[in-house]
Amino acid sequence: MIKNMTLGQYVSGNTLLHRADPRTKIILTMVLMVYFVIIDSFIQFAIGTIFTVIVLAGTKVHIGYVIKSIRPIFFIMVVTGIINLVTTKGNTAIDLGFVRITYEGIEITLKMFIRLSIIIINSSMITYTTTPITVTDAIESLLGGLKRFRVPVHEVAMMMSLSIRFIPILAEEADKLMKAQASRGAEFDQGGIINRVKNYIPLLVPLLTGAFRRAEELAMAMEARCYRGGEGRTRLKQLKYTKEDIKVLIIFLLFIICAIVAKLLCNSNNLYF
């Protein structure tokens, strides 16, 4: 699971989404997250899934690479789905005697799987198509108004960007530690859940030690380059909105319009999907 983690990794390319301003991508992604949370009909989920597929095709990111972003939480999704299946009350679909599965439980579980999957995939598009330094500049620009209240916007944006960037690095280091421990006889996939958790504990100390070492090296490198925060800092590439952002906005508006029209048609015909 650890070695398949792709969050925070940048995939180089020259697609429309790669060229778009990172502020546009962040704002539209936040709107999408809210939309995917509040929708509750299968027709809206279908349109959201189609939109996600179109975005993936447009970024030219390999589908297998994107699926890896879902794997870290797949176990949680399965456990939550099972709980919904056996605890949701309603019309019986399958009666096994000791457990009863309802149609309502199946519906809630399907919607949960689709909702979480499209949320994770769409949110991952920011890091897949934007370099970490550009993400930092975009967050700083969007939160620029907070500087009036003496909020260290640049430092906050830098910490957020570094945190995302360190996720794949720490995942790779954890994978190396697991292989080293396995070569010495450690078993991480044997026994019950409690035993597996105990087997992972010896990884924490070297992993935390390595994380602190990397943080110290990064701090020393930033000091050696005279980094003093955002005050007086210049940028090699200035952020600016272009016609690419207009194209992205038009595609996004078309998606929202299609979703609203489909929902209204279903309501007018008394259909529930």
Q: Which residues contact 267 (CB under 8 A, 6 or more apart)?
A: none
Q: What is the pLDDT of residues 33-70, one digit of tens each?
A: 888 988 888 888 888 899 998 888 888 887 777 777 77
Give the Å distances, CA to CA, from 177 to 103, 171, 187, 208, 217.
45, 10, 13, 12, 20
Q: What is the pLDDT of residues 109-148, one digit of tens each?
A: 898 899 988 988 888 888 888 887 788 788 888 888 887 8
Q: What is the pLDDT of residues 191-225, one digit of tens each?
A: 666 777 777 777 888 888 888 888 888 889 888 88
- Residue ranges of the domains in the chain? 16-268
